Amino acid sequence: MTTATAASTTKMALGATKVSLSWLNGWTIGTVIIAMIAITPIVTVIFISFTPSDDIWAHLVSTVLPLYISTTLLLMIGVGIGTLVIGVGTAWLVSMCRFPGKSMFEWALLLPMAMPAYVIAYLYTDILEYAGPIQTMLRDMFGWTTKREYWFPEIRSLGGAISMMTLVLYPYVYLLSRAAFMEQSICVLEASRVLGRGPVQSFFSVALPLARPAIIIGISLVLMEALNDFGTVDFFAVSTFTLGIYDVWLNMGNVAGAAQLATVLLLFVMALALAERFARRKKRFHHTTSKYKALPGYQLEGRARTVAVIACALPVIFGFVLPASVLTSYSFIHYKTAMSTEFLGYAFNSFMLSSVAAVLALAIGIFMAYGVRLHNEPLLKVMVRLASLGYAVPGSVLAVGVLVTLGSVDNGIDGFMRQTFGISTGLLLSGTIAAVTFGYLVRFLALAFGSVEASLGKVTPSMDGASRSLGHGAMSTLRRVHLPMIRGSILTASMMVFVDCMKELPLTVILRPFNFHTLATFVHQYASDEQLGEASLAALSIVGFGILPVIVLSLAITRSRPGHNKEEKA
Amino acid sequence: MKTSLMSKAKILCAALAVMAPWGGTASASGEVNLYSERQPFLMDPLLKAFTAQSGIKVNMVYIKKGMLERIDAEGANSPADLILTTGFGNLNNLLQAGLLQSVGSSALSANIASQYRHPDGLWFGLTTRARIIFTHKDRVKPGEVTSYEDLAAPHMKGRVCTRSGKHEYNISLLASIIAAKGEAAAEAWAKGVKENLARKPQGNDRAQVKAIFQGECDVSLGNTYYMGLMQTNEKDPEQKEWAATVNVVFPNQKDRGTHVNVSGAAVTKSSKNKENAIKLIEFLTGDMAQKIYAQDNFEYPVKAGVAASPVVASWGTFEADKVLLSSVAEKRTLATRIMDRVRFDN
CATH code at A308? 1.10.3720.10
Which among A251, A344, A430 is the nearest to B166, CB-wise? A251
| Residue A296 pLDDT | 62
- CA–CA distance from A167 to each of A162, A320, A373, B108 (Å)? 9, 9, 35, 53
Pair type for strands B31-36 and B82-85: parallel
Roughly what angle, to the nearest 10 degrees, separates helices B40-54 and B287-297? 160
pLDDT value, residue A154 = 84
Asked if A514 lies within 8 A of B337 by C-beta distance, the reply is no
For residue A13, pLDDT over 50 is answered with: no
User: Are A79 and A159 contacting, i.e. CB atoms less than 8 angstroms apart?
Assistant: no
Is A124 part of a structural domain of the chain?
A: yes
pLDDT band at A8 (very low <50, low <70, confident <90, very high): very low
Give the structural domain span for A322: 28-560
Tell me, what's the pLDDT at A472? Answer: 81
Residue A313 lies in a domain: yes
Please classify residue B49 by burial: count the beta carbons closer than 10 Å to its beta carbon, then call 0-12 exposed, 13-18 middle and 19+ buried: middle
What is the CB neighbour count within 10 angstroms for residue B248?
A: 18
Q: What is the rounded average pLDDT for all residues in chain B?
A: 90
Nearest to A513 among B21, B40, B210 (CB): B21
Residue A131 to residue B70, Cβ atoms within 8 A: no
CA dihedral for A82, A88, A94, A99, sign (positive or negative): negative
Chain A CB contacts of B63 below 8 Å: 509-510
**Least confident stretch, A79-93, A269-283, A374-388, A416-430:** A269-283
Q: Compare all CA atoms of chain A with the CA of B215 and give the residue at the minimum distance.
A: A146
% of chain B exceeding 90 in pLDDT: 80
Contact residues, B window 10-69, toward A, CB-based 8 Å cutoff: 17-18, 21-22, 24-27, 33, 39-41, 59-66, 69
CB pairs under 8 A between A and B: 169
Residue of B11, B13, B22, B83 to mutate, interface with A, max A Cβ within 10 Å: B22
Determine which of A514, A522, A525, A532 to mutate to test the interface with B (most B C-beta atoms within 10 Å): A514
Closest Cβ–Cβ partner in B24, B75, B206 for A432? B24
Q: What domains, with CATH codes, occur in chain B?
A: 30-128+261-313 (3.40.190.10), 131-259+319-341 (3.40.190.10)
Residue in chain B nearest A521 by alpha carbon: B62
Q: Which of B73, B164, B166 sits opposite A404 (nearest CB)?
A: B73
Q: Out of A246, A349, A533, whose CB is closest to B236?
A: A533
How many helices (H) and strands (E) would you count in chain B?
15, 10
pLDDT band at A407 (very low <50, low <70, confident <90, very high): very high
Exposed e or buried b per residue across A195-223, where buried means at least 16 C-beta atoms within 10 angstroms of its C-beta:
eebebeebbebbbbbbbbbbbbbbbbbbb
Distances (CA, A) of B185 to B132, B152, B174, B182, B335: 20, 11, 10, 6, 12
Would the CB atoms of B215 and A526 count as touching at under 8 Å? no
Tens-digit pLDDT profile for residues A113-162: 888 888 899 899 888 888 788 888 888 888 887 777 888 888 888 999 99
Judged by CB atoms closer than 8 Å, whether chains meet at B345 and A239 is answered as yes
Nearest beta carbon to residue A333 from set B17, B215, B235: B235
Residue A116 lies in a domain: yes
pLDDT at A90 over 70: yes
- Distance to chain B for A382, nearest Cα, Å: 29
What's the total number of domains in chain A? 1
Answer with the residue of higher pLDDT: B3 or A93.
Answer: A93
**pTM of structure:** 0.85
Nearest C-alpha neighbor of B120 from the set B261, B262, B266, B279: B266
Is A368 part of a structural domain of the chain? yes
Contact between chains at B69 and A246 (C-beta distance less than 8 A): no
Interface test mutation site (partner A, options B18, B161, B230, B238, max chain A beta carbons within 10 A):
B18
Chain A partners of B59 at a C-beta cutoff of 8 Å? 514-515
Shortest Cα–Cα distance, A424 to chain B (Å): 9
In Å, how far is A50's CA from the nearest CA of chain B? Answer: 16
Per-residue model confidence as pLDDT tens digits over A430-452: 999 999 999 999 999 988 988 88
Q: Do B66 and A404 touch (CB under 8 A)?
A: no
Q: Which among A251, A254, A514 is the nearest to B60, CB-wise? A: A514
Nearest to B77 among A249, A396, A411 (CB): A411
Q: Please list the alpha-helical segments (H only) found in chain B.
A: 2-19, 40-54, 67-74, 88-96, 106-111, 168-181, 183-196, 205-213, 224-231, 238-244, 274-284, 287-297, 310-313, 325-329, 332-341
Q: List pLDDT tens digits, range B164-219.
A: 999 999 999 999 999 999 999 999 999 999 999 999 898 889 999 999 998 889 99
Where would I find the beta strands (DSSP E) of A26-165? Answer: 97-98
Q: Taking a C-beta distance cutoff of 8 angstroms, is the pair A206, A194 a contact?
A: no
The gap from C-alpha B162 to its chain's centroid, in whole angstroms, comes to 17
Test the A interface: residue of B27, B38, B41 with most A CBs within 10 Å: B41
Q: Which of A230-239, B14-23, B234-243 has the lowest mean pLDDT?
A: B14-23
- Whether B326 has its CB under 8 Å from any CB of chain A: the answer is no
> Which of residues B11 and B306 earns the better pLDDT score?
B306
ipTM of the complex: 0.83
Confidence of residue B153 (pLDDT cuts 50, 70, 90): very high
